[in-house]
Amino acid sequence: RYPFINCTNCGPRFTIIKDIPYDRPLTTMAGFTMCPQCRAEYENPLDRRFHAQPNACPVCGPRVWLTDHKGKAVNCTDVIRHASSLLCDGKIVAIKGLGGFLLACDATNPAAVSTLRDRKARRDKPFAVMVKNLEELRRFCRFDSAEAKILSSPQAPIVLLRLKPGCTIAPQVAPKNNYLGAMLPYTPIHHLLISEAGIPLVMTSGNLTEEPIAAANGEAMERLSNLADYFLFHDRDIHSRYDDSVVFVSEGTAQPVRRARSLAPYPIRLPVTSRPLLATGAQEKSAFCLAKDTYGFLSQHIGDLDNIETIEHYEQTVDLYKRLFRVEPAAVAHDMHPDYLSTRYALRHKDRLPLIAVQHHHAHVAACMADNGIPGRVIGIAFDGSGYGPDGTVWGGEFLVAGYERFERFGHFQQLPMPGGELAIRKPYRLAIAYLRALLGSLPALPFAEALPATEVNIILRQGEQRINTPLTSSCGRLFDAVSALLGVCQTITFEGQAAVELEMSSASTGSDESFPYYVELADGVWQVHVGPMFEAIVHQIAGGVPTSRLAETFHTTVASVAASVASLIHQETGIRDVVLTGGCFQNRLLLEKTIRSVRRIGLNVFVHRQVPCNDGGVALGQAVVAASVLASS
C-alpha cells in the first residue's frame, strides 16, 4: 500500500526532472537517499527497479499526510483510508498527484459536486471522473474496444465517452452533456484511494477557473483552502505542472483535445528540417513549440494567457524546455494578432532574433499537415472561433490552399457583425440578433428575442447599424453560437465553446443528409459562402414547429455540406486532392463525422489531427513548421 511504488517502466518522469541526463540527483527525488534494500534493487540489472530513478519505499521515500483546510494535521493511522472515508462522506479533498493537485469528490453525490462547482467558480464546464477499472466504467458509459485500449494504455488520458442514460453519475458533473470525460487511476495514490472508496470520483484540476494547476504544498494551501475541505499532501516536489490529457476517439484513433500528461513533450517528427526556433503559440489553450533539426517539442497545455500566474507558468516552462532539450532559438515564430500575450512574449526578442509572424489559420492547417506528414499543398478547411486576418478582420471560417511556406485564401463564410466584440462571444444572443438583422433586413418575432429586454435588443440593433464596436467576422464558431441562441439552446456562456457544445448535444443523430439552403459565389477571386437562405429557412421552420433536435442536426449537415462544396470548387480549380480539417470547431464529433463523410463522398482525401489538438493547443506546431520553411527558403 505504499503510494509511491514504481519500477523502471512506470512512475513520474517529466514532472520531477530538473535537467538531463535523467538521473536521480537531477530530479526532485534527490533529497531522498535510498535505503540498502532500495539501493540493491536499483543496482541489480535483473531487478524490475534497475535504475528506476524515483525508486523508494516507506523507509526511505516520500510520505503522505492529511490536513484540514486550515493546515491542521488530521490524526489517523491510515491516511489513505481516512481520506477515502471523507470522500464517501461528501467532502472535497485536494489530492497532490503527478503534475499538480486535483480536487476530488464523490461523482455520484449531487450536493458534493454542486459545492465543488460553487467553490471553483465553474458553473457549467464538465468535470472529469476517475473510476476503478473498465468493468466499473461500463456501469456509467458506453465505449468500444478502441476507447477501452486508450483508457487502459500507459498514457491513461481522459477519454470522452458517451454517458449511459439514467446512470448514477450526478447530472451536475457534466451539465447538458451527452459525454463524460473518464479516466482510470494512473498513480499508486489514485489506485489506493479509489479502491478504498469504492465510488467514482470527480477529479478536476486544483485551481480556480482559468488559473494554472497548483503544484507546491504551500501554494496549494494558499490557493485552494477555500475550495477543499481537506488536503492529501506528499513531500515529493513537482518541478513541472501538468494537467491531464484529454482525447476522443474518431474512426478508432485518438484525437487530442488537450495534450499534457503522458503525451507532451513526446517529440513530433517534422516534415522539414528546422533551425533551432521557438514558436510561441496562441492566446487561448496556450502551448509553445521548440523545433530543432527534424523534431518539434510541443509543450504541455499551459492554459489561457489571461492572468499573471499563467504567464509566469508559460515563461518558466519555456526556460525548462530550452534547458532540457538543449535548444537555444535562433528565431521566434508568433501569431499575427498584436494583442496576444504570446505575440508580446515573442516581441521581447525582436532586437536580437528574427521574428516570423504566421497567420493563425495557416498555422492550424500547417499543424495538421505536419501531424500527418503531408508534403506539398493541401486544401485547408480551418473552422474556429477567431483568428487575426491580414485584412484586419476576424477570420474563422476559412478555406485555404496552403503549403508550409505560404498560403492563399480561396474561400470563407460571409462576414457578419459581432456587436460588442468579445461581449457577443459571451452572449451569443447578440450574434443571433445581429445576424438576423444583417441577413434578413429585420428581426423576426422569435421566442429567444422576445425573452430579452426590449431596450437591450434595440441597443444591439443600433450598435450593428452604426458599426459601433462591431467588428466583422467570417467565423464558423460564431455561426454555431448564433444558431445555438436562435434555436433557444444557449443564450449566454460561462466557458469557451459552450453554445456550440450544447447545440451539438441537443442535436439528433439520425444520419440525415437534409441541409438548409445556402449559396456560394465568387467575389474578388474568393469563394464566399452566403448563409442568408439558411437563416431564413431556420426562422420558417421554428415557426412551423420543427423540433430543435432536427434543426440542430440539419445545421450540422449544412456546415459539412458547405465544407465539401467549397473543397470541390477548389479541387476543380487547383487539382489538389488532399483536404485537412482543423480548428476548434472540429472537436464537435457530429460536425467532424459529417464533414469527413461529405468530403470523401466527392472523392477527396481527408486528414485530421492525431498527435496534436485541432484547437489552438496545436497552433505552435504549425507556426514552427511554417517558420522553418520560411527560414530554409531564405
Tens digits of per-residue pLDDT, 7-45?
A: 999 989 999 999 999 999 999 999 999 999 999 999 999
Cell numbers given for 170: 450526478
Does CATH number 1.10.3720.10 belong to domain 64-246? Answer: no
Cβ-based neighbours of 243, under 8 Å, separated by 6 or more:
99, 100, 205, 213, 258, 260, 261, 300, 301
Can you give the pLDDT at residue 208?
Answer: 86
For 489-498, write each residue's pLDDT tens digit: 999 999 999 9
Q: Are 302 and 212 in contact (CB under 8 A)?
A: yes
What confidence category does residue 634 fall into, taking pLDDT thresholds of 50, 70 and 90? confident
Q: Which of 433, 426, 492, 485 is nearest to 458 (CA)?
A: 433
What is the chain's mean pLDDT, rounded? 96
pLDDT of residue 211: 87
In whole angstroms, give the CA distance from residue 393 to residue 471. Answer: 7
Overall average pLDDT of the 105-128 stretch: 97
| Domain spanning 413-588+598-607, CATH class | alpha beta
Question: Residue 210 — pLDDT band, cuts 50, 70, 90?
Answer: confident
Kindly indicate the confidence band of residue 323, based on its pLDDT and cuts at 50, 70 and 90: very high
What average pLDDT does the segment 567-571 reach?
98
pLDDT of residue 412: 98
Domain ranges of the chain: 1-62, 64-246, 413-588+598-607
pLDDT tens figures, 125-174:
999 999 999 999 999 999 999 999 999 999 999 999 999 999 999 999 99
| Cβ-based neighbour number of residue 220 at 10 Å | 23
What's phi and psi for 87, nearest 5 deg? -65, -40
pLDDT number for residue 209: 76
Q: CB–CB of 484/503 below 8 Å?
A: yes
pLDDT at 361 over 90: yes
Is pLDDT of 524 > 80? yes
The pLDDT, as a whole number, for residue 525 is 94
Asked if residue 303 lies in contact with residue 212, where contact means CB atoms within 8 angstroms, the answer is: yes
Contact present, 105 and 201 (Cβ < 8 Å): yes
453: CB partners within 8 A, 6+ apart: none
Q: Which helix (H) or strand (E) holds 248?
A: strand 246-250
Q: Which three cell numbers stand for residue 64?
A: 503522505
